């Protein structure tokens, strides 16, 4: 594994489900992921974020940053502040008003009210989905835009964007890659957990006709795989005929039974299968799918970006050749270098999201005041890990690379797009 891949892998590990991000040192939450790519330089590509800048003092009025400076998430708060200031850079950016949320939804609501009372017109943060849900109605009533750090899109909406990385962003990249490979008949076999449910919603949105089965345990996994693969219809009539012929006293019938037993079973009614297992569940699924004649290879397997943490283990579980979407690990090196130069240490993974929020803010306040329309620049912005584009309804698109799982690790087969000017790119 390359050393420069470790920050990306840590971010993927932090963003494994769909509730909230990393909550304090070593504490893992289930926050869904989807990441991004390199920014372009032409007028039709993403606008580059600032390259550096002094660390302005917090001073009320203009832009508010709601950060957990006390409470259970206080360990990550200062790095969010540092990264946001690095993204804001220099120039005509209004002053940054850093307000402590206390790591609680109630504290985040109080911080939002304080920011609005001080005249702040844009809020960066807060950190979690629960905090964002409390801030949302307060900001909406005051007509204040919010760039939240969660990736739970359930709290997103007009004028409130969730900048964290989501399964929808991964699924978008994987569907494009599968279509390009001629594997355009999709299905989903997903666990009944936050990540599985989020990928279910994303796949249904991207491919409304795709059948999806959710399961809660191994028994459910087996039943779901059997039903989704249409195993009974594909195999049952052949098996019944083999059994009947094999019981015959006629040698020709028994020979025909043997011939039929050697024939391949008709393929399942899909050519690409979305799964979301990791760990032990991945090995169970890897053994189960061939039992129902769903063979990775003939069926293109699509999985979560969390596989980037150990793609060789995914291959050993039986999924060599499967695809997942994630950022190019090299894409975030510039941000990590700049953060280390400014603050003397490498940034924690979630700091990249705060940097993106600061950079988007800088470009939307170039005249000295916030231009809300600039937030949804269709060309997008060049963020810490690459291009992101805020959509008018509150969703965020991110450009992702696509990787193939191999026994030796991962191999990039589709570089991330350089721009996000059109949904199909």
Q: What is the pLDDT of residues 322-372, one digit of tens each?
A: 999 998 888 889 999 999 999 999 999 899 999 999 999 998 988 888 888
DSSP 197-227: HHHHHHHHHH-TT--EEEESSHHHHHHHHHH
Q: What is the pLDDT of residue 334?
A: 92
- Rounded to the nearest 10 degrees, the angle between the axes of helix 129-141 and helix 105-117 is 30
DSSP secondary structure letter of residue 315? I
Q: Is 98 helix (H, G, I), strand (E, B) or coil?
A: strand
Sign of CA dihedral 119, 125, 131, 134: positive
Q: Is 338 helix (H, G, I), strand (E, B) or coil?
A: helix
**pLDDT tens string 366-378:** 888 888 899 998 8
Q: What is the CATH number of domain 167-326?
A: 3.40.50.2300
Q: Is 389 helix (H, G, I), strand (E, B) or coil?
A: strand
Q: How confident is the model at residue 404 (pLDDT cuts 50, 70, 90)?
A: very high
Where do the structural domains in the chain lie, given as residue ranges? 3-166+329-397, 167-326
Q: What is the pLDDT of residue 421?
A: 59
Q: What is the pLDDT of residue 31?
A: 33
Q: What is the dihedral of CA 382, 383, 389, 392, to 10 degrees?
A: -120
pTM comes to: 0.76
Q: Are 132 and 162 in contact (CB under 8 A)?
A: yes
As a whole number of angstroms, the distance between CA 310 and CA 278 comes to 10
- CATH architecture classification, 3-166+329-397: 3-Layer(aba) Sandwich (3.40)
Q: What is the pLDDT of residue 92?
A: 61
Number of residues that this document lists for the chain: 425
Name the helix (H) or strand (E) containing 167. helix 167-180
Please list the alpha-helical segments (H only) found in 266-389: 280-291, 311-314, 333-343, 351-364, 372-375
Strands (E), 242-316: 272-274, 300-303
* Percent with pLDDT over 70 in the chain: 83
411 forms beta bridges with 404
In 3D space, the residue among 179, 286, 186 whose CA is nearest the CA of residue 228 turns out to be: 186
State the average pLDDT over residues 204-210: 95
Q: Is 296 helix (H, G, I), strand (E, B) or coil?
A: strand
Q: Do domains 3-166+329-397 and 167-326 have the same CATH topology?
A: yes
Task: Please give the residue that has the higher pLDDT: either 40 or 405.
Answer: 405
């Amino acid at each position: 594994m390359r050393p420069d891949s470790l920050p990306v892998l840590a971010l993927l590990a932090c963003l494994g489900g769909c509730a909230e991000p990393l909550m304090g040192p070593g504490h893992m939450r289930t926050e869904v992921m989807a990441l991004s790519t390199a920014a372009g330089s032409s007028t039709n590509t993403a606008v580059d974020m600032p390259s550096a800048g002094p660390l302005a003092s917090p001073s009320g009025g203009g832009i508010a940053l709601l950060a957990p400076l006390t409470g259970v998430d206080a360990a990550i708060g200062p790095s969010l502040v540092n990264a946001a200031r690095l993204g804001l850079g220099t120039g005509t950016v209004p002053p940054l008003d850093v307000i402590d949320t206390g790591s609680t939804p109630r504290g985040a609501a109080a911080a939002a009210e304080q920011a609005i009372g001080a005249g702040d017109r844009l809020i960066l943060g807060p950190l979690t989905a629960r905090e964002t849900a409390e801030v949302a109605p307060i900001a909406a009533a005051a007509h204040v835009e919010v760039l939240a750090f969660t990736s739970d899109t359930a709290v997103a909406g007009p004028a409130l964007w969730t900048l964290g990385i989501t399964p929808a962003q991964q699924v978008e990249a994987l569907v494009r890659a599968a279509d390009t490979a001629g594997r355009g008949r999709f299905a989903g076999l997903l666990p009944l957990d936050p990540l599985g449910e989020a990928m279910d919603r994303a796949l249904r949105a991207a491919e409304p006709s795709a059948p999806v089965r959710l399961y809660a345990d191994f028994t459910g996994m087996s039943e779901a795989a059997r039903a989704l693969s249409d195993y009974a219809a594909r195999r049952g009539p052949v098996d019944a005929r083999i059994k009947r012929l094999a019981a015959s006293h006629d040698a020709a019938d028994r020979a025909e039974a043997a011939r039929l037993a050697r024939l391949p079973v008709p393929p399942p009614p899909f050519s690409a299968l979305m799964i979301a297992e990791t760990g032990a569940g991945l090995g169970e699924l890897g053994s189960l799918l061939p039992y129902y004649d769903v063979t990775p290879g003939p069926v293109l397997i699509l999985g979560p970006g969390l596989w980037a943490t150990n793609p060789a283990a995914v291959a050993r579980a039986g999924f060599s050749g499967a695809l997942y979407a994630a950022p190019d690990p090299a894409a975030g090196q510039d941000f990590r270098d700049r953060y280390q130069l400014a603050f003397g240490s490498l940034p924690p993974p979630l700091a990249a999201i705060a940097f993106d929020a600061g950079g988007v803010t800088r470009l939307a306040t170039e005249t000295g005041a916030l231009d809300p329309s600039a937030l949804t620049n269709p060309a997008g912005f060049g963020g810490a890990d690459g291009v992101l584009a805020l959509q008018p309804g509150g969703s965020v698109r991110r450009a992702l690379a696509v990787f193939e799982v191999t026994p030796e690790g991962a191999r990039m087969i589709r570089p991330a797009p350089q721009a996000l000017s059109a949904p199909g790119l």
